[in-house]
Structures are given as structure tokens and as C-alpha cells.
Amino acid sequence: MNDVPLLPILLHPDPILRAKARPVAEGDADLVRALAPRMLATMYKAPGIGLAAPQVGEKLRLVVIDLQPDDTPSPMVLVNPEIVAASEERAVREEGCLSIPGQYADVERPARVKVRWRELDGTRREMEADDLLATCLQHEIDHLDGVMFTDRLGPLKRNMLIKKFLKEQKLKSREAM
């Protein structure tokens, strides 16, 4: 994994993060096979537990996830993932985002989801997820629709978090001069 070139992660307010990503088609096979390992390497380096293709500038419905980035790698690559069922029960969990680094907030979402996707070789997959995996899947699939976790916060908390992020970014870019 060390020799795989990393990809720059786009930060809020990049407009690509707000676009709806297009489905991966059969003709994208080579692109997706080259992109997935680079996305995984970028996610591990960040470090993060998930990454969606729009975060690295590709408006494609492709997601990578590994909930145990520090232990034995157990990477998931999800092509065209979709939520096909969501529980009425809701759960609150703290979320972060590699496109708004350093900012965390409690987000309420369905506690359990059923997700369908294809593997890189085209195999159809389906699973039910709860806990952190359910949160991460929903966070990543949101990215494919141009939705950020901050959109799921109340306006007060959202504005405070975005303001703090932009202020910290401004300070960082001044320090780099």
C-alpha cells in the first residue's frame, strides 16, 4: 500500500463536494480499479474510516470504508452503494469529515440500514449494518449526493462549526506564508 500514490482530499467549500455523483458504469472498470486502491491509501494516511470519490475530485458513486484502520486492514470497496431500507429507530453518534478536518459533532440518523452495492468485479452485495458501520455508510453515501454531515445539524451548530473550520483554515494558510 506504501507505493500507491495518494490523492488530495477536497475541503469544504469545494463545489465538487456539493455535486451529485454519477453511477459507475461498465466502461468505468479501469478507472475504478485504479482509483479504489488510491482512495484506500489516502483514507489510511489521513487517517479516516471512510472516503467517497467526490472527496478526491471524482464525481463517481464509489466509496471505501475500513472501520479498523489501525488493526488488520479490512477494506471495503463499494461501487454504486444504495440504502434500500432504514430503521425507524434513530441513533446519535459523533461524526467527523476528512473534508472538514478537525470538526466533530453529534449527528442523528437511522440506527440501522440495509445497503446494496457491487464489488469491483461486479458481484452484487447486500448487508444490514448498525452502530458505527451504519453511520459511516450513511455519511459516505451522503457524500455521493453532495450532502455533508453539517447539513444534518441544526442551523446554530452548523454555522458555528463551519465558521470555526474556516477560521482555522485561514490561520493555517497564514502560518504557511
> Which residues in this chain contact ligand K1U in the complex, by CB under 6 A?
47-52, 69, 95-99, 135-136, 139-140, 143
Q: Which does 140 bind (CB under 5 to 8 A by kind): Zn ion, ligand K1U, none?
A: ligand K1U
Which residue in 108, 140, 168, 175 is the catalytic one?
A: 140
Q: Which does 109 bind (CB under 5 to 8 A by kind): Zn ion, ligand K1U, none?
A: none
Which of the stretches 5-13, 89-97, 109-117, 152-160 binds Zn ion when contact is defined by CB under 5 A?
89-97
Cell numbers 458555528 correspond to 160
Residue 140 a catalytic site member: yes
Is 62 a binder of Zn ion (CB under 5 A)?
no
Rounded to an integer, what distance in angstroms lies between the CA atom of residue 108 and that of residue 114?
A: 17
Helix/strand/coil for 125: strand
- Secondary-structure breakdown of the chain: helix, strand, coil percentages, each rounded to the nearest 5: 40, 25, 35
Q: Which does 42 bind (CB under 5 to 8 A by kind): Zn ion, ligand K1U, none?
A: none
Q: How many CA atoms lie within 13 A of 11 on its CB side?
A: 11
Task: Give the N- to C-terminal CA distance of the chain in Å, as an integer.
Answer: 32
Q: Is 136 labelled a binding residue?
A: no
Q: Is 12 labelled a binding residue?
A: no
Candidates 78, 143, 84; CA nearest to 117 is 78
Is 32 a binder of Zn ion (CB under 5 A)?
no
Residue 175 CB, nearest distance to ligand K1U (Å)? Answer: 23
The amino acid at 107: V
Interface positions with Zn ion (CB under 5 A)? 97
